[in-house]
Structure formats: structure tokens, C-alpha cells
Amino acid sequence: MTKSEELFQRAVKRIPGGVNSPVRAYGSVTEAPRFIQGAVGCKIFDVDGNEYIDYIDSWGPMILGHNNEQIKDAVIRASENGLSFGCATEVEVEMAEFICDKIPHVDMIRMVNSGTEAVMSALRVARGYTGKNKIIKFAGCYHGHTDAMLVSAGSGVMTSGVPDSAGVPKGCTQDTMLAVYNDLNSVEKLFIESDSQVAAVIVEPVGANMGVVPPADGFLQGLRDLCDKYHALLIFDEVITGFRLSFSGAAGFYGITPDLVTYGKIIGAGMPVGAYGGRKEIMEMVAPAGPVYQAGTLSGNPIAMAAGLTQLKILWEDQDIYKRLYQKGELLYEGIRKIFLEKGVDYQVNSVSSLGCIFFTENKVTDYTSAKTSDTAEFSKYFRYMLNNGIHIAPSQFEAMFLSDAHTEAEIQETLDCIEKYF
Ligand SMILES: Cc1ncc(COP(=O)(O)O)c(C=O)c1O
């Protein structure tokens, strides 16, 4: 038995499912999860001494690669003053100023502790600001595990979603309506049916939790226009895309201005952080400036701020990084497309810059319904092959591959060689 298997056996006795977040359990790929000892650059090492090229990148934040020296030093320096005070600190002001100075659509920002919290809070602010209750979200987009977002489509005649998890009361999802990604008609239909009661549309500007699904030409602009027409706020959930597609995230990459934006792990460089921000008059609704209550003992934690701010400064000062990430994405995902073409494999490769995935289906994937045509048993087989050959990808068909600046051509080529042998 490997040490990972041994740890998993111990873990399942004391932690539900043996893990602290479901996808880590490797449930859909019938393997015991690998327990991680450490990581550096684009390499990750498990407790049994195996080394992998890592395409999970802690689910996105390791844009510079793992264990970046400058970030590590910032954390060590900050920790010398103490770990948490529950009081205001200078670094929080620096973080807020840094982001607001550089992101045109963020005048004010509030730090929280996770992407889930950021979304939950942004929805509350949108409702407080507009005085309306309904939220439109898209099937297949994930916005964390807040009750209102754990929703699946009701029957055709129902506009409100139904709970998608035990423990979520119907009342929590009755104001959440589900639209189809890349289908503006489905969005306008909900606006009309809801009788102008929509507070906000929340969207992953690049779908990255149903596999990678890019926005079709005009989709994000169409959402902007519909929100303006019906006086609703447009919320970009940039937990995955923020500071990754460009410094100003998908908003900057596609040139669309949201009213509110949510961030997550990336602004903590992997520390537990989230944030939401936007226009001044909206953000001034938040307590104690305004009537929308939202709080957090550990919010703006000085160690997390030190880590996150250091990463953001590096990204800002070296914006060529976004060109490099794009080129690395081209190398990897175009490389896979070429292999498929040569071998007559009819599967889909969806990508946007450093984010991408293979869908094991012959259908073009543009939304959740088409994503679900993927053969997940086939994915499982592929995942196990990759893992056993030293390539660490997410253990689910419906997750993205994340490239970092630390992936070099050599590792990308090694990955392509591995993929070529499989197909
Ligand atoms: C787009 C998006 N929003 C929100 C979340 C929730 O973030 P967290 O897991 O930090 O609560 C995630 C998590 O991956 C995400 O991908």
C-alpha cells in the first residue's frame, strides 16, 4: 500500500469522504487521491516521492508557479509581526489601493476569505443596491457553495431553480433563475418572465467549471446590454479568470465592463482569500458605510494580504507574463489539436489562453448540455494514464487545466508526448 492510500484510509475515518473539498477525493476517477508533500515551479511531489508536472496549480492561483521565492519571503516577513489581529492593518489599504488604481471597473473593494464568500456578498450587495431579488446564473457555471447558487433547472414551466444539494431549502433557490451559457435569448426570456425583478446576472466570463467553455462572440457584450436594458447589475465571477487572462481579468481581455466583480484564491496567491469590488456607489452600500451587512473576523488577514499583494505586484510589473501565458496555452492546446488531427481523434479541445481542457465528445462544447455529452469513463481512463505518467491534471472532466509562467516549453512538450502516446 502506498503512503497516499494509507493516509486516505485514515482520512475517511475522520473527514467526510476523506477530504476537505469534494473534487480532491478523486471520486469520479476511481483512484485514491495523491497526498501532496510539496511543490515548486510547475512540479508537485506526493508523499510517496512521485513527481508530476502540475496542471492544477492549486486550482488557479499559482500563476507564477508553486512556492515563488518572493511570495514566500513576503509571507515569512509578515508572519514575524503576528498572524492575525482582527484589526485594520496598512497592508489591507495597500492591497485595496493597488487593485483599485489598476482595475478600471473597481473603485472600491472588500476582502473576504474565499470565492464562495465573495459571491455570496456580491449577490447581497446587488440586491441591496437594486432593491430587487432575482438572480440569473448559468447552468454549468460554479460560484461556490452558497445556498442560492446550489441550484439546478426546475421543470420547463418553472423559472425558479430548485436546490441541487440536500440541506438547501427551496426558499433559498426560488429567486435564482438558470439560463443557458452562450444563449442570450435564454437570458432575455428570464428577464421578461421575472417582470423586471432581476437584481443581477452572475457569470463566469469564461466557463471553467464545466470544463472550459469560452464565451461566444458577442455573448458578454450581450449580457452587458441586457443588464443595462433591464436595470440589473452584471457580476463577473473572476475567481478563475481574474489576474490570469489579463491583469484586469476577463473584463480586460474581452473589453467588457461589469458592475461588480468577484475574486478568489488568486488575490491571495493561494492563501485563503476572496474579494468583491466594483463601482463606488454600489460598494458604498456595504456595512459599515451602508446598510448591506457583511463581515469577517479574518478578512484581510495580513499574511494573506502580503502573499497576494506580492503576487499582484509581480504580475503588474511584468505584464509580458500574459503574452507568455497565452503562448504557452497555444503551444499546449494547439499541440493537442494537432495530435488529434493527425490521429483522426474527434474529441474537442476548448481553450482560452492558459486555461483549457479536452472534452471526450464529438460535439462542439458551448454550454453545459454539450459539456455533459463528454464520455466521463473515457476521461477517467485518460486521467489515470496521465497520472501514472507523471502529469497531474484535475481528477474531473469538468475542470480546467491551468498553465503557469513556470511551465517551460520542455514540460509542455513532455505533456504533449505523453498525450500523443495515449491517443
Ligand atoms: C468561478 C468560481 N467562483 C467561485 C468559486 C468558489 O471559490 P472558493 O472555493 O474559494 O469558495 C470557485 C471555486 O473554484 C470558482 O471557480
On whether the CB atoms of residues 56 and 392 are closer than 8 A, the answer is: yes
**CB 76: neighbour CB atoms within 10 A?**
11
Pocket test for ligand 1, best of 143, 146, 261, 401 (most atoms within 8 A of CB): 143
- Provide the annotated active-site residues: 142, 237, 265
Ligand 1 proximity of 419 Cβ (cutoff 6 Å): no
- The best mutation among 120, 123, 138, 142 to test binding of ligand 1, ranked by most ligand atoms within 8 Å of the C-beta, falls on 142
Q: Is the pLDDT of residue 35 over 90?
A: yes
Query: What is the distance between the alpha carbons of residues 396 and 23, in angstroms, rounded to a whole number?
Result: 7
Distance between the two ends of the chain, CA-based, in angstroms?
30
Query: Is residue 116 in contact with ligand 1, taking CB distance under 6 Å?
Result: yes
Ligand 1 centroid from CA 274, angstroms: 9
Return the H-helix or E-strand segment holding 260: strand 260-263
Q: Looking at beta carbons, which pairs linking 5-12 to residues 24 or more positions away fall under 8 Å? A: 5/32, 7/35, 7/47, 8/32, 8/33, 8/35
Q: Is the CB of 411 under 6 A from ligand 1?
A: no
pTM score, whole prediction: 0.97
Q: How many angstroms separate the alpha carbon of residue 144 from the centre of ligand 1?
A: 5
Q: Are 402 and 56 in contact (CB under 8 A)?
A: yes
Q: How far apart are the C-alpha atoms of 126 and 290, rounded to whole Å?
A: 13
Contact at 8 Å (CB) between 32 and 4?
Answer: yes
Confidence label for 30 from pLDDT (cuts 50, 70 and 90): confident
Residue 87: band (very low, low, confident or very high) from pLDDT cuts 50, 70, 90? very high
Residue indicated by cell numbers 425558479: 160
Contacts (Cβ under 8 Å, ≥6 apart) of 420: 339, 343
Q: How remote is the CA of residue 149 from the centroid of ligand 1, in Å?
A: 11
Nearest to 395 by CA among 65, 2, 34, 36: 34
Cα–Cα distance for residue pair 270/111, rounded to 1 Å: 14
115-169 pLDDT tens trace: 999 999 999 999 999 999 999 999 999 999 999 999 987 655 556 788 989 999 9
Atom of ligand 1 nearest to the CA of 272: 10
- Output Rg (C-alpha) for the chain, integer angstroms: 21
Place 196 in a pLDDT band, splitting at 50, 70 and 90: confident
Bridge partner residues of 286 (DSSP): 292
Amino acid at 90: E
pLDDT digits (tens, 9 = 90+) for 305-341: 999 999 999 999 999 999 999 999 999 999 999 999 9
**345 alpha carbon – ligand 1 mean position (Å):** 32
Distance 261 CA to ligand 1 centre (A): 13
- Ligand 1 and 356: CB distance under 6 A: no
Given a cut of 80, whether residue 239 has pLDDT beyond it is yes
